[in-house]
């Protein structure tokens, strides 16, 4: 019986180069399977695995996104750790969701940020929006990531272990300098503040995720924003949409966001109405001489 499946899973995931978050999600998928059958993975048959997937889909009604992670984590483990070449893994598929993300207008972003009263949270959320960063990318920003000469931020440890440079607006740079002066941490831009905030310069870790998430949630409510699913990542979606509306090339936006595929960036074309209002007039002008004579 396999008693060290967790260690073997983490070992294989690390050797394959998967990121920390992917390692956790994939291993959690296997753990849920183990808990469901109350036996180790090597004792689970292919038929039992099929029944498990069907139970999660039809009984528990897991979302397509959750099922996709479930499939990927279990497929990785059974294929690479247990060396199972089951046909189930050849046709396993989840229909992709075609949901568009929520975006805020420029005015709504300003309203939300104006309702963030703790200075450290306001600087953090402003940086996320104005630089189009992911939450974890912003949390782990370091002083050395700021390129003052070029007014760029070097984003290390991005999703997929990819580095990139993003423009740093002067207003954001000034705000970051002002905030850094309050803690003067030698490395981190957003260190954990501690209970009294006086030991931030000695902190070994960034601010807590729960702190900035709570600040965002409260600000959205106070700003009177009633759109669905408005979270910190909404600021990144809004950044991309606003750049597109201002005429920034889609390829440039792809680079700033750190997307591997242009298809991921193209979703923002569906989130803006700019240009649609002029389409009919432009078509009429183009065609007005077509039937003359």
Identical fold, 5-91 and 114-231: no
Instruction: Classify 114-231 by CATH class.
Output: mainly alpha
* Residue 50 CA from chain centroid, whole number: 30
> Which residues, at least 6 apart from 201, have a Cβ–Cβ distance to it below 8 Å?
183, 184, 185, 186, 191
pLDDT at residue 200 in the model:
81
Residue 243 has pLDDT above 80, yes or no: yes
- Which of 56, 236, 237, 242 is an active site residue? 236
Distance CA 59, CA 222 (A): 38
The DSSP letter of residue 153 is E
| Tens of pLDDT, residues 153-171 | 999 865 655 789 999 999 9
Q: Three-state SS for 165?
A: strand
Residue reference for tokens 């760029």 = 152
Q: State yes or no: is 84 an active-site residue.
A: no
Helix axes 106-114, 232-245, angle to 10 degrees: 140
Q: Which of 139, 103, 147 has the alpha carbon at shortest distance from 123?
A: 139
Respond yes or no: is residue 251 known to be catalytic.
no
Helix, strand counts (H, E) of the chain: 14, 3
Active site residue 120: no
Assigned CATH for 5-91: 1.10.150.130
Mean pLDDT for 211-230 is: 94
b/e string for 5-26 if b means 16 or more Cβ within 10 A? beebbeebbeeeebeeebbebb
In three-state secondary structure terms, 3 is coil
pTM equals 0.70
Is 60 exceeded by the pLDDT of residue 254? yes
**By CB neighbour count within 10 A (0-12 exposed, 13-18 middle, 19+ buried), where does 176 fall?**
buried
Question: Would you call 236 a catalytic residue per the annotation?
Answer: yes
**133 in helix, strand or coil?**
coil
Give per-residue pLDDT as tens, 1-60: 456 888 999 999 999 988 888 899 999 999 999 999 999 999 999 999 999 999 999 999
Extents of the domains making up the chain: 5-91, 114-231
Catalytic residue among 159, 164, 231, 255, which? 159
Of the residues 32, 68, 231, 233, only one is catalytic, namely 233
**Residues 70 and 53 sit within 8 Å (Cβ to Cβ):** yes
Output 99 or 87, whichever has higher pLDDT: 87
> Taking the mean position of all CA atoms in its chain, how far away is CA 18?
16
Among the listed residues 31, 32, 39, 134, the single catalytic one is 134
User: Of 56, 75, 242, 259, which residue is the catalytic one?
Assistant: 259
Report residue 280's pLDDT band, with 50, 70 and 90 as the boundaries: low
| Known catalytic membership, residue 159 | yes
């Amino acid at each position: 019986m396999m008693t060290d499946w967790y260690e073997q899973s983490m070992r294989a995931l690390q050797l394959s180069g998967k990121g920390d978050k992917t390692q956790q999600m994939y291993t959690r998928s296997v753990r849920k399977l183990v808990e469901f059958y109350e036996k180790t993975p090597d004792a689970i048959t292919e038929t039992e695995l099929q029944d498990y997937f069907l139970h999660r889909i039809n009984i528990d009604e897991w979302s397509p996104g959750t099922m996709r992670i479930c499939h990927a984590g279990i497929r990785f483990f059974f294929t690479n750790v247990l060396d199972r070449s089951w046909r189930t893994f050849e046709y396993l598929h989840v229909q992709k969701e075609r949901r568009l993300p929520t975006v805020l207008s420029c005015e709504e972003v300003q309203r939300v940020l104006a309702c963030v009263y703790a200075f450290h949270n306001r600087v953090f959320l402003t940086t996320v929006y104005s630089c189009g960063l992911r939450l974890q990318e912003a949390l782990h920003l370091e002083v050395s990531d700021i390129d003052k000469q070029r007014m760029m931020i070097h984003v290390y440890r991005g999703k997929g272990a990819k580095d990139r440079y993003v423009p740093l607006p002067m207003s954001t740079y000034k705000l970051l300098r002002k905030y850094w002066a309050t803690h003067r941490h030698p490395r981190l831009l957003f260190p954990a503040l501690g209970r009294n905030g006086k030991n931030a310069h000695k902190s070994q870790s960034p601010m807590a995720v729960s702190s900035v998430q709570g600040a965002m949630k409260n600000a959205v409510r106070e700003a009177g924003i009633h759109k669905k699913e408005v979270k910190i990542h909404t600021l990144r979606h809004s950044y991309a949409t606003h750049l597109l509306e201002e005429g920034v090339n889609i390829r440039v936006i792809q680079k700033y966001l750190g997307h591997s595929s242009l298809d991921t960036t193209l979703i923002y074309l569906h989130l803006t109405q700019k240009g649609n209002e002029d389409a009919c007039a432009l078509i009429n002008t183009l065609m007005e001489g077509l039937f003359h004579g």
